[in-house]
Structure 1
Amino acid sequence: MKSRLLQLNNSSWLVSALGEQALLIKPQGDKASLQLIHKSCSVIGESSIPGVVDIIPAYESIAIIYDRVLNDLESEIEMLSKAFRNISAENYSPQKHVIPVCYELGPDWEEVENHTGMKRDRIIQIHLAGANTVAMMGFLPGFLYLSGLNEEIACPRKQEPRSQIPAGSIGIGGKQTGVYSLESPGGWQIIGRTPLSFFDVRKDPPTDVRAGDQVVFERILEKEFFTLKDGGA
Protein backbone atom coordinates (compact mmCIF):
# COMPACT_ATOMS: atom_id res chain seq x y z
CA MET A 1 0.00 0.00 0.00
CA LYS A 2 1.38 3.40 -1.00
CA SER A 3 1.08 6.59 1.05
CA ARG A 4 -2.10 8.69 0.77
CA LEU A 5 -3.34 11.93 2.32
CA LEU A 6 -5.97 12.21 5.06
CA GLN A 7 -7.68 15.25 6.60
CA LEU A 8 -7.63 15.19 10.40
CA ASN A 9 -8.05 18.01 12.91
CA ASN A 10 -7.90 20.68 10.15
CA SER A 11 -4.55 19.37 8.91
CA SER A 12 -3.32 17.12 6.10
CA TRP A 13 -1.69 13.85 7.17
CA LEU A 14 0.35 11.38 5.14
CA VAL A 15 -0.95 7.84 5.75
CA SER A 16 1.10 4.72 5.13
CA ALA A 17 0.91 1.06 6.12
CA LEU A 18 2.85 -0.06 9.18
CA GLY A 19 2.77 -3.78 8.65
CA GLU A 20 -0.49 -5.61 7.98
CA GLN A 21 -2.46 -4.37 11.00
CA ALA A 22 -1.38 -0.77 11.57
CA LEU A 23 -1.27 2.64 9.92
CA LEU A 24 1.25 5.41 10.46
CA ILE A 25 0.07 8.99 9.99
CA LYS A 26 2.32 12.06 9.84
CA PRO A 27 1.32 15.75 9.51
CA GLN A 28 2.31 17.40 6.25
CA GLY A 29 4.14 20.71 5.91
CA ASP A 30 6.04 22.18 8.80
CA LYS A 31 7.37 20.05 11.63
CA ALA A 32 4.52 18.62 13.69
CA SER A 33 3.82 20.22 17.02
CA LEU A 34 3.20 18.04 20.05
CA GLN A 35 -0.08 19.84 20.58
CA LEU A 36 -1.28 18.85 17.10
CA ILE A 37 -0.21 15.25 17.70
CA HIS A 38 -1.96 15.03 21.06
CA LYS A 39 -5.18 16.75 19.98
CA SER A 40 -5.37 14.50 16.96
CA CYS A 41 -4.91 11.42 19.18
CA SER A 42 -7.90 12.64 21.15
CA VAL A 43 -9.99 12.90 17.97
CA ILE A 44 -8.96 9.39 16.88
CA GLY A 45 -9.77 8.00 20.32
CA GLU A 46 -13.27 9.47 20.28
CA SER A 47 -14.05 8.30 16.76
CA SER A 48 -14.91 4.66 17.56
CA ILE A 49 -13.07 3.33 14.52
CA PRO A 50 -13.90 -0.38 13.99
CA GLY A 51 -11.02 -2.66 14.92
CA VAL A 52 -8.74 -0.04 16.47
CA VAL A 53 -7.11 -1.41 19.64
CA ASP A 54 -4.38 1.14 20.29
CA ILE A 55 -3.31 4.68 19.35
CA ILE A 56 0.37 5.40 19.86
CA PRO A 57 1.65 8.99 19.57
CA ALA A 58 5.31 9.81 18.96
CA TYR A 59 6.98 13.21 18.56
CA GLU A 60 6.07 13.58 14.88
CA SER A 61 3.61 10.80 14.07
CA ILE A 62 0.77 8.59 15.31
CA ALA A 63 0.47 4.83 14.90
CA ILE A 64 -3.04 3.37 14.72
CA ILE A 65 -3.09 -0.33 15.65
CA TYR A 66 -5.90 -2.67 14.53
CA ASP A 67 -7.05 -6.15 15.54
CA ARG A 68 -7.55 -7.12 11.90
CA VAL A 69 -5.62 -7.26 8.65
CA LEU A 70 -6.18 -3.99 6.80
CA ASN A 71 -7.80 -3.58 3.42
CA ASP A 72 -6.43 -1.34 0.66
CA LEU A 73 -5.30 2.09 1.84
CA GLU A 74 -8.02 4.01 0.01
CA SER A 75 -10.85 2.18 1.76
CA GLU A 76 -9.15 2.48 5.14
CA ILE A 77 -8.70 6.25 4.68
CA GLU A 78 -12.34 6.57 3.63
CA MET A 79 -13.37 4.79 6.83
CA LEU A 80 -11.16 7.09 8.92
CA SER A 81 -12.48 10.20 7.19
CA LYS A 82 -16.08 9.24 7.93
CA ALA A 83 -15.22 8.52 11.55
CA PHE A 84 -13.47 11.90 12.00
CA ARG A 85 -16.14 13.95 10.24
CA ASN A 86 -18.16 14.96 13.31
CA ILE A 87 -15.42 14.83 15.96
CA SER A 88 -13.80 18.02 17.23
CA ALA A 89 -10.63 18.59 19.26
CA GLU A 90 -12.26 21.46 21.14
CA ASN A 91 -13.02 19.23 24.13
CA TYR A 92 -9.39 18.11 24.42
CA SER A 93 -8.39 18.64 28.06
CA PRO A 94 -5.06 17.23 29.25
CA GLN A 95 -4.76 16.33 32.91
CA LYS A 96 -2.19 17.75 35.31
CA HIS A 97 -0.05 15.40 37.40
CA VAL A 98 2.06 16.42 40.41
CA ILE A 99 5.04 14.09 40.75
CA PRO A 100 6.97 14.17 44.05
CA VAL A 101 10.73 13.73 43.58
CA CYS A 102 13.46 12.96 46.09
CA TYR A 103 16.56 14.46 44.47
CA GLU A 104 18.81 13.03 47.23
CA LEU A 105 18.34 9.59 45.63
CA GLY A 106 19.89 10.60 42.31
CA PRO A 107 23.22 8.79 41.71
CA ASP A 108 24.39 10.92 38.76
CA TRP A 109 24.70 14.37 40.28
CA GLU A 110 28.44 14.59 39.78
CA GLU A 111 28.11 14.05 36.02
CA VAL A 112 25.19 16.47 35.72
CA GLU A 113 26.96 19.17 37.74
CA ASN A 114 30.15 18.77 35.71
CA HIS A 115 28.30 18.94 32.38
CA THR A 116 26.15 21.97 33.25
CA GLY A 117 28.73 23.80 35.35
CA MET A 118 26.02 24.38 37.97
CA LYS A 119 25.60 23.35 41.58
CA ARG A 120 23.00 20.76 42.50
CA ASP A 121 20.62 23.17 44.21
CA ARG A 122 20.51 25.44 41.15
CA ILE A 123 19.85 22.49 38.82
CA ILE A 124 17.04 21.30 41.08
CA GLN A 125 15.56 24.79 41.15
CA ILE A 126 15.52 24.93 37.34
CA HIS A 127 14.12 21.41 37.07
CA LEU A 128 11.27 22.18 39.48
CA ALA A 129 10.38 25.32 37.50
CA GLY A 130 9.98 23.45 34.21
CA ALA A 131 6.69 23.21 32.32
CA ASN A 132 6.59 19.55 31.33
CA THR A 133 4.38 17.80 28.80
CA VAL A 134 4.09 14.02 28.40
CA ALA A 135 5.37 13.92 24.84
CA MET A 136 4.92 10.16 24.50
CA MET A 137 5.29 6.88 26.35
CA GLY A 138 7.75 4.12 25.45
CA PHE A 139 10.46 2.22 25.58
CA LEU A 140 8.91 0.10 28.34
CA PRO A 141 5.33 0.18 29.68
CA GLY A 142 4.56 3.43 31.46
CA PHE A 143 7.89 5.16 30.75
CA LEU A 144 7.21 8.89 30.48
CA TYR A 145 9.07 11.04 27.96
CA LEU A 146 8.62 14.64 29.11
CA SER A 147 9.31 17.63 26.90
CA GLY A 148 9.94 21.07 28.37
CA LEU A 149 13.32 20.59 30.04
CA ASN A 150 15.25 23.84 30.30
CA GLU A 151 18.22 23.62 27.90
CA GLU A 152 20.52 24.97 30.62
CA ILE A 153 20.37 21.60 32.37
CA ALA A 154 20.19 19.33 29.32
CA CYS A 155 22.70 16.45 29.53
CA PRO A 156 23.70 13.64 27.17
CA ARG A 157 22.86 10.08 28.09
CA LYS A 158 25.55 7.98 29.74
CA GLN A 159 28.14 6.43 27.44
CA GLU A 160 27.70 3.10 29.24
CA PRO A 161 24.09 2.43 30.30
CA ARG A 162 23.38 0.82 33.64
CA SER A 163 22.03 -2.72 33.66
CA GLN A 164 19.56 -1.89 36.43
CA ILE A 165 17.71 1.34 37.24
CA PRO A 166 15.09 1.34 40.03
CA ALA A 167 11.43 1.95 39.26
CA GLY A 168 10.49 5.57 39.86
CA SER A 169 13.87 6.94 38.78
CA ILE A 170 13.82 10.44 37.27
CA GLY A 171 16.45 11.07 34.62
CA ILE A 172 17.72 13.62 32.12
CA GLY A 173 18.39 12.43 28.58
CA GLY A 174 19.30 15.18 26.15
CA LYS A 175 16.57 17.85 26.32
CA GLN A 176 14.03 15.58 28.00
CA THR A 177 13.13 14.32 31.45
CA GLY A 178 12.32 10.63 31.67
CA VAL A 179 10.42 8.75 34.37
CA TYR A 180 11.15 5.02 34.73
CA SER A 181 7.89 3.26 35.53
CA LEU A 182 9.56 -0.13 36.00
CA GLU A 183 13.00 -1.37 36.97
CA SER A 184 15.04 -1.73 33.80
CA PRO A 185 18.37 -1.05 32.12
CA GLY A 186 18.88 2.53 30.97
CA GLY A 187 21.32 5.28 30.11
CA TRP A 188 19.68 8.47 31.37
CA GLN A 189 21.38 10.67 33.97
CA ILE A 190 19.38 9.84 37.13
CA ILE A 191 18.82 12.87 39.37
CA GLY A 192 16.10 11.56 41.69
CA ARG A 193 13.28 9.11 42.36
CA THR A 194 9.54 9.32 42.83
CA PRO A 195 7.55 6.95 45.06
CA LEU A 196 4.69 6.98 42.55
CA SER A 197 4.03 4.20 40.07
CA PHE A 198 2.84 4.91 36.53
CA PHE A 199 2.11 1.39 35.39
CA ASP A 200 0.06 -1.36 37.03
CA VAL A 201 -0.88 -4.35 34.89
CA ARG A 202 -3.77 -5.11 37.27
CA LYS A 203 -5.51 -1.83 36.41
CA ASP A 204 -7.60 -1.04 33.33
CA PRO A 205 -6.15 1.06 31.85
CA PRO A 206 -2.78 0.20 33.45
CA THR A 207 -1.76 3.87 33.60
CA ASP A 208 -3.64 7.09 34.37
CA VAL A 209 -1.19 9.21 32.38
CA ARG A 210 -1.75 10.05 28.71
CA ALA A 211 0.40 11.71 26.09
CA GLY A 212 -0.37 15.43 26.22
CA ASP A 213 -0.84 15.54 29.98
CA GLN A 214 1.04 18.15 32.00
CA VAL A 215 3.54 17.30 34.75
CA VAL A 216 4.78 19.39 37.67
CA PHE A 217 7.57 18.16 39.92
CA GLU A 218 7.47 18.68 43.68
CA ARG A 219 10.52 18.19 45.88
CA ILE A 220 10.34 15.79 48.83
CA LEU A 221 12.94 14.63 51.34
CA GLU A 222 14.31 11.10 51.56
CA LYS A 223 12.23 10.33 54.65
CA GLU A 224 9.06 11.42 52.83
CA PHE A 225 10.00 9.27 49.85
CA PHE A 226 10.17 6.09 51.88
CA THR A 227 7.06 6.97 53.88
CA LEU A 228 5.07 7.41 50.65
CA LYS A 229 6.59 4.36 48.99
CA ASP A 230 5.97 2.11 52.01
CA GLY A 231 2.42 3.46 52.15
CA GLY A 232 1.76 2.18 48.64
CA ALA A 233 1.63 5.60 46.94
Structure 2
Amino acid sequence: MAGSQIQRTELPSPRYEYGGDDHIFVELDQEMSFDANFKAMAITQQIREMDLSGLIEVCPANASYLLHFDPDLIEPDTLIEKLRVLDREIHLSEYEWETRIIDFPVLYDDPWTHETLMRFRDNHQDPNVTDLEYSARINGFETPEAFIDAHAGAPHMVTMIGFVPGLPWTFQMVPRDEQIEVPKYVQPRTDTPSRAIGYGGAFTAIYPVQGAGGYQLFGRTPVEVLDVEQKLPDFTESMVFPQPGDIMKFREIDRDEYDRIRTKIGDGTFEYRYESVRFSPEEFFEDPETYNEELVEVL
Protein backbone atom coordinates (compact mmCIF):
# COMPACT_ATOMS: atom_id res chain seq x y z
CA MET A 1 0.00 0.00 0.00
CA ALA A 2 1.30 3.45 -0.90
CA GLY A 3 2.21 5.80 1.93
CA SER A 4 1.18 9.41 2.41
CA GLN A 5 1.34 11.68 -0.61
CA ILE A 6 3.02 15.06 -0.60
CA GLN A 7 0.49 17.87 -0.37
CA ARG A 8 0.89 19.98 -3.50
CA THR A 9 1.24 23.77 -3.38
CA GLU A 10 -0.37 26.02 -5.95
CA LEU A 11 2.21 28.65 -6.77
CA PRO A 12 1.33 32.32 -7.37
CA SER A 13 2.54 34.19 -10.44
CA PRO A 14 6.32 34.71 -10.23
CA ARG A 15 7.63 38.10 -9.14
CA TYR A 16 10.51 39.41 -11.30
CA GLU A 17 12.79 42.08 -9.81
CA TYR A 18 15.85 43.91 -11.15
CA GLY A 19 18.95 43.76 -8.96
CA GLY A 20 20.99 46.73 -10.08
CA ASP A 21 22.11 46.56 -13.72
CA ASP A 22 23.27 42.96 -13.79
CA HIS A 23 21.02 40.76 -11.64
CA ILE A 24 17.47 39.46 -11.86
CA PHE A 25 15.73 38.04 -8.80
CA VAL A 26 12.67 35.82 -9.25
CA GLU A 27 10.41 34.92 -6.32
CA LEU A 28 8.21 31.87 -6.94
CA ASP A 29 6.53 31.89 -3.53
CA GLN A 30 6.96 33.52 -0.13
CA GLU A 31 7.57 30.22 1.65
CA MET A 32 9.43 27.01 0.94
CA SER A 33 7.55 24.08 -0.56
CA PHE A 34 8.59 21.16 -2.73
CA ASP A 35 6.66 22.69 -5.64
CA ALA A 36 8.45 26.04 -5.31
CA ASN A 37 11.88 24.50 -4.90
CA PHE A 38 11.48 21.95 -7.70
CA LYS A 39 10.21 24.70 -10.03
CA ALA A 40 13.26 26.83 -9.19
CA MET A 41 15.50 23.82 -9.89
CA ALA A 42 13.81 23.13 -13.21
CA ILE A 43 13.88 26.70 -14.52
CA THR A 44 17.51 27.30 -13.52
CA GLN A 45 18.56 23.99 -15.06
CA GLN A 46 16.84 24.87 -18.34
CA ILE A 47 18.17 28.43 -18.51
CA ARG A 48 21.71 27.06 -18.05
CA GLU A 49 21.20 24.60 -20.91
CA MET A 50 20.23 27.46 -23.23
CA ASP A 51 23.86 28.66 -22.96
CA LEU A 52 22.86 32.29 -23.42
CA SER A 53 25.53 34.83 -24.26
CA GLY A 54 25.99 37.13 -21.25
CA LEU A 55 24.58 34.78 -18.62
CA ILE A 56 27.24 34.62 -15.91
CA GLU A 57 25.78 32.72 -12.95
CA VAL A 58 22.54 30.97 -12.02
CA CYS A 59 21.65 30.45 -8.35
CA PRO A 60 18.55 28.46 -7.34
CA ALA A 61 17.23 28.99 -3.82
CA ASN A 62 14.50 27.57 -1.60
CA ALA A 63 11.57 29.32 -3.27
CA SER A 64 13.30 31.71 -5.66
CA TYR A 65 16.34 32.08 -7.89
CA LEU A 66 18.89 34.72 -8.91
CA LEU A 67 20.58 35.32 -12.26
CA HIS A 68 23.78 37.30 -12.79
CA PHE A 69 24.26 38.55 -16.35
CA ASP A 70 26.28 40.98 -18.47
CA PRO A 71 23.88 43.77 -19.58
CA ASP A 72 26.18 44.59 -22.52
CA LEU A 73 25.48 41.12 -23.94
CA ILE A 74 21.85 40.48 -23.00
CA GLU A 75 19.03 42.85 -22.14
CA PRO A 76 17.38 42.17 -18.76
CA ASP A 77 13.88 42.31 -20.25
CA THR A 78 14.89 39.79 -22.91
CA LEU A 79 16.14 37.49 -20.16
CA ILE A 80 12.95 37.95 -18.12
CA GLU A 81 10.82 37.05 -21.14
CA LYS A 82 12.76 33.80 -21.56
CA LEU A 83 12.15 33.06 -17.89
CA ARG A 84 8.42 33.73 -18.29
CA VAL A 85 8.28 31.27 -21.17
CA LEU A 86 10.08 28.61 -19.13
CA ASP A 87 7.71 29.16 -16.21
CA ARG A 88 4.72 28.52 -18.50
CA GLU A 89 6.28 25.54 -20.28
CA ILE A 90 7.71 23.58 -17.35
CA HIS A 91 5.27 21.27 -15.60
CA LEU A 92 6.62 19.27 -12.68
CA SER A 93 4.38 16.33 -13.57
CA GLU A 94 6.49 15.92 -16.72
CA TYR A 95 9.91 17.16 -15.59
CA GLU A 96 12.85 15.04 -14.40
CA TRP A 97 16.52 15.77 -13.77
CA GLU A 98 19.81 13.96 -13.36
CA THR A 99 21.08 14.10 -9.80
CA ARG A 100 23.20 12.23 -7.27
CA ILE A 101 22.34 10.21 -4.18
CA ILE A 102 25.18 10.99 -1.77
CA ASP A 103 26.22 8.98 1.27
CA PHE A 104 26.84 11.60 3.95
CA PRO A 105 28.42 10.39 7.22
CA VAL A 106 27.57 12.18 10.47
CA LEU A 107 28.97 11.72 13.97
CA TYR A 108 25.89 12.70 15.96
CA ASP A 109 26.37 14.11 19.48
CA ASP A 110 30.08 14.58 18.78
CA PRO A 111 32.47 16.08 21.36
CA TRP A 112 33.20 19.30 19.41
CA THR A 113 29.66 20.57 18.86
CA HIS A 114 28.72 19.29 22.33
CA GLU A 115 31.44 21.45 23.89
CA THR A 116 30.27 24.43 21.85
CA LEU A 117 26.58 24.11 22.62
CA MET A 118 27.30 23.70 26.34
CA ARG A 119 29.40 26.85 26.24
CA PHE A 120 26.44 28.81 24.86
CA ARG A 121 23.60 27.43 27.00
CA ASP A 122 22.60 30.92 28.12
CA ASN A 123 21.76 31.68 24.47
CA HIS A 124 19.34 28.74 24.24
CA GLN A 125 15.61 28.26 24.85
CA ASP A 126 16.32 25.56 27.45
CA PRO A 127 19.75 25.92 29.12
CA ASN A 128 19.20 22.72 31.12
CA VAL A 129 19.36 20.26 28.22
CA THR A 130 21.44 19.73 25.07
CA ASP A 131 20.26 20.77 21.61
CA LEU A 132 19.47 17.15 20.73
CA GLU A 133 17.49 16.61 23.92
CA TYR A 134 15.55 19.82 23.37
CA SER A 135 14.86 19.07 19.69
CA ALA A 136 13.74 15.52 20.47
CA ARG A 137 11.33 16.72 23.17
CA ILE A 138 9.61 19.44 21.16
CA ASN A 139 9.17 17.06 18.21
CA GLY A 140 7.58 14.35 20.34
CA PHE A 141 10.45 11.84 20.45
CA GLU A 142 11.10 9.99 23.69
CA THR A 143 14.90 9.96 23.33
CA PRO A 144 17.62 11.77 21.37
CA GLU A 145 18.47 8.43 19.77
CA ALA A 146 14.94 8.14 18.34
CA PHE A 147 15.23 11.71 17.10
CA ILE A 148 18.55 10.92 15.38
CA ASP A 149 16.95 7.89 13.73
CA ALA A 150 14.23 10.16 12.33
CA HIS A 151 16.72 12.75 11.06
CA ALA A 152 18.76 10.09 9.28
CA GLY A 153 15.73 7.98 8.36
CA ALA A 154 14.73 9.71 5.12
CA PRO A 155 16.90 11.46 2.51
CA HIS A 156 17.30 15.22 2.33
CA MET A 157 17.46 17.30 -0.85
CA VAL A 158 19.96 20.13 -1.22
CA THR A 159 17.66 23.07 -1.91
CA MET A 160 20.26 25.84 -2.14
CA ILE A 161 23.86 26.82 -1.42
CA GLY A 162 24.55 30.08 0.34
CA PHE A 163 24.43 32.44 3.29
CA VAL A 164 28.14 31.74 3.63
CA PRO A 165 30.12 30.26 0.72
CA GLY A 166 29.64 26.53 0.34
CA LEU A 167 26.89 26.09 2.96
CA PRO A 168 24.33 23.46 1.80
CA TRP A 169 20.73 23.81 2.93
CA THR A 170 18.86 20.52 2.91
CA PHE A 171 15.16 19.73 3.33
CA GLN A 172 13.99 16.27 4.39
CA MET A 173 11.95 14.56 1.68
CA VAL A 174 8.88 13.67 3.75
CA PRO A 175 5.29 14.97 3.97
CA ARG A 176 4.87 18.21 5.87
CA ASP A 177 3.30 16.57 8.93
CA GLU A 178 6.42 14.39 9.30
CA GLN A 179 8.90 17.26 9.07
CA ILE A 180 11.21 17.90 12.00
CA GLU A 181 11.00 21.56 13.05
CA VAL A 182 13.14 23.42 15.57
CA PRO A 183 13.71 27.12 16.31
CA LYS A 184 17.05 28.88 16.12
CA TYR A 185 18.80 29.86 19.34
CA VAL A 186 17.27 32.83 21.19
CA GLN A 187 20.64 34.57 20.72
CA PRO A 188 23.14 33.32 18.11
CA ARG A 189 26.47 31.81 19.09
CA THR A 190 29.72 33.58 18.29
CA ASP A 191 31.32 30.22 17.51
CA THR A 192 30.37 27.07 15.61
CA PRO A 193 32.83 24.33 14.56
CA SER A 194 33.44 23.77 10.87
CA ARG A 195 31.45 20.86 9.41
CA ALA A 196 28.84 21.13 12.19
CA ILE A 197 25.39 19.75 11.39
CA GLY A 198 22.94 22.48 12.34
CA TYR A 199 19.15 22.58 12.16
CA GLY A 200 16.79 25.54 12.06
CA GLY A 201 13.17 25.67 10.99
CA ALA A 202 12.86 22.59 8.78
CA PHE A 203 16.37 22.81 7.28
CA THR A 204 19.60 20.99 7.97
CA ALA A 205 22.59 23.25 7.30
CA ILE A 206 26.21 22.09 7.15
CA TYR A 207 28.61 24.79 8.33
CA PRO A 208 31.55 24.75 5.89
CA VAL A 209 33.87 26.82 8.09
CA GLN A 210 34.15 27.85 11.73
CA GLY A 211 32.07 30.90 12.59
CA ALA A 212 28.98 32.33 14.22
CA GLY A 213 25.66 30.49 14.05
CA GLY A 214 22.25 30.09 15.58
CA TYR A 215 21.03 26.66 14.50
CA GLN A 216 20.57 23.75 16.90
CA LEU A 217 23.68 21.53 16.79
CA PHE A 218 23.15 17.81 16.19
CA GLY A 219 26.61 16.55 15.22
CA ARG A 220 29.61 16.93 12.96
CA THR A 221 30.55 15.41 9.63
CA PRO A 222 34.13 14.37 8.86
CA VAL A 223 33.77 15.30 5.18
CA GLU A 224 34.35 18.68 3.59
CA VAL A 225 31.62 20.55 1.71
CA LEU A 226 33.95 23.39 0.68
CA ASP A 227 37.47 22.94 -0.73
CA VAL A 228 38.69 26.36 -1.85
CA GLU A 229 42.00 24.99 -3.11
CA GLN A 230 40.18 22.10 -4.87
CA LYS A 231 42.68 19.50 -3.73
CA LEU A 232 40.22 16.67 -3.07
CA PRO A 233 39.11 14.55 -6.06
CA ASP A 234 35.41 15.45 -5.83
CA PHE A 235 36.14 19.19 -6.02
CA THR A 236 37.97 19.36 -9.35
CA GLU A 237 35.02 21.00 -11.15
CA SER A 238 33.73 23.11 -8.26
CA MET A 239 35.01 24.13 -4.84
CA VAL A 240 31.54 23.28 -3.46
CA PHE A 241 30.16 19.77 -2.98
CA PRO A 242 27.25 18.89 -3.01
CA GLN A 243 25.15 20.99 -5.41
CA PRO A 244 21.46 22.08 -5.47
CA GLY A 245 19.25 19.18 -6.51
CA ASP A 246 21.56 16.55 -5.00
CA ILE A 247 20.02 14.15 -2.49
CA MET A 248 21.81 13.45 0.81
CA LYS A 249 21.47 10.22 2.77
CA PHE A 250 22.70 11.09 6.25
CA ARG A 251 24.34 8.06 7.85
CA GLU A 252 25.20 7.81 11.54
CA ILE A 253 28.84 6.81 12.14
CA ASP A 254 31.04 6.22 15.18
CA ARG A 255 34.23 8.00 16.22
CA ASP A 256 36.50 5.39 14.61
CA GLU A 257 34.96 5.91 11.18
CA TYR A 258 35.03 9.66 11.68
CA ASP A 259 38.77 9.52 12.37
CA ARG A 260 39.45 7.22 9.40
CA ILE A 261 37.69 9.64 7.05
CA ARG A 262 39.58 12.61 8.50
CA THR A 263 42.84 10.78 7.82
CA LYS A 264 41.83 10.33 4.18
CA ILE A 265 40.86 14.00 3.99
CA GLY A 266 44.27 14.91 5.34
CA ASP A 267 46.21 12.88 2.79
CA GLY A 268 43.94 13.96 -0.09
CA THR A 269 42.53 10.52 -0.94
CA PHE A 270 38.95 10.80 0.34
CA GLU A 271 36.18 10.46 -2.24
CA TYR A 272 32.45 10.76 -1.63
CA ARG A 273 30.32 7.67 -2.22
CA TYR A 274 27.44 8.55 -4.53
CA GLU A 275 25.39 7.24 -7.43
CA SER A 276 23.72 9.09 -10.30
CA VAL A 277 19.95 8.79 -10.62
CA ARG A 278 17.13 10.45 -12.50
CA PHE A 279 14.79 12.27 -10.11
CA SER A 280 11.07 12.40 -10.87
CA PRO A 281 9.07 14.99 -8.88
CA GLU A 282 5.83 13.30 -9.95
CA GLU A 283 6.84 9.90 -8.57
CA PHE A 284 8.05 11.55 -5.37
CA PHE A 285 4.79 13.47 -4.92
CA GLU A 286 2.72 10.30 -5.41
CA ASP A 287 4.44 8.09 -2.83
CA PRO A 288 7.46 9.68 -1.13
CA GLU A 289 8.17 6.81 1.27
CA THR A 290 8.40 4.16 -1.46
CA TYR A 291 10.22 6.47 -3.85
CA ASN A 292 12.78 7.47 -1.18
CA GLU A 293 13.48 3.80 -0.49
CA GLU A 294 14.10 3.20 -4.17
CA LEU A 295 16.40 6.21 -4.40
CA VAL A 296 18.68 5.21 -1.51
CA GLU A 297 18.84 1.56 -2.58
CA VAL A 298 21.45 2.49 -5.19
CA LEU A 299 24.04 3.27 -2.48
TM-score, structure 2 as length reference: 0.65
Question: 1:99 is matched with which residue: 96, 104, 108?
Answer: 104
Q: Cα distance 1:13–1:119, how it changes in 2: closer, same or farther (>3 A)?
A: same
CA distance in 2, matches of 1:224, 1:164: 25
**SS of aligned partner of 1:187:** coil
Question: 2:182 is matched with which residue: 149, 155, 158?
Answer: 155
Select the structure that is richer in helix: 2
Question: 1:225 is matched with which residue: 224, 247, 258?
Answer: 258
Deviates more, 1:60-69 or 1:220-229: 60-69
One-letter amino acid of the counterpart of residue 128, structure 1: A
Shift of 1:65: 0.6
Deviates more, 1:94-103 or 1:59-68: 59-68
Q: How does 1:31-50 map to 2 (within 5 A)?
A: 32-50=35-53
What root-mean-square deviation, in Å, do the aligned CA atoms of Structure 1 and Structure 2 show? Answer: 3.3
CA distance in 1, matches of 2:85, 2:154: 40
Aligned length: 223
Q: Deviations over 1:146-200 (max 9, x none)?
A: 1127756421111122212111111111111111112121011111111111111
Structure 1, gaps ≥5 residues long: 1-10
Q: Cα distance 1:39–1:74, how it changes in 2: closer, same or farther (>3 A)?
A: closer
CA distance in 2, matches of 1:138, 1:61: 13
Deviates more, 1:213-222 or 1:17-26: 17-26
Equivalent residue number for residue 194 of structure 1: 221
Select the structure that is richer in strand: 1
Equivalent residue number for residue 18 of structure 1: 19
Shift of 1:112: 2.5
Q: Cα distance 1:48–1:176, how it changes in 2: closer, same or farther (>3 A)?
A: same
Question: 2:77 is matched with which residue: 67, 71, 74?
Answer: 74
Shift of 1:217: 0.5
TM-score, structure 1 as length reference: 0.81
Equivalent residue number for residue 116 of structure 1: 139
Structure 2, gaps ≥5 residues long: 1-11, 115-130, 231-236, 271-299
Q: Cα distance 1:116–1:75, how it changes in 2: closer, same or farther (>3 A)?
A: closer
CA distance in 2, matches of 1:113, 1:27: 32
Aligned identity (percent) is: 24
Shift of 1:142: 1.1
**SS of aligned partner of 2:99:** coil
Structure with the greater relative contact order (CA < 8 A, sep ≥ 6): 1 or 2?
Answer: 2
Contact 2:43–2:83 (Cα < 8 Å) also in 1:
no
Equivalent residue number for residue 151 of structure 2: 127
Equivalent residue number for residue 64 of structure 1: 67
One-letter amino acid of the counterpart of residue 168, structure 1: R
CA distance in 2, matches of 1:80, 1:153: 34
Q: Cα distance 1:149–1:116, how it changes in 2: closer, same or farther (>3 A)?
A: farther
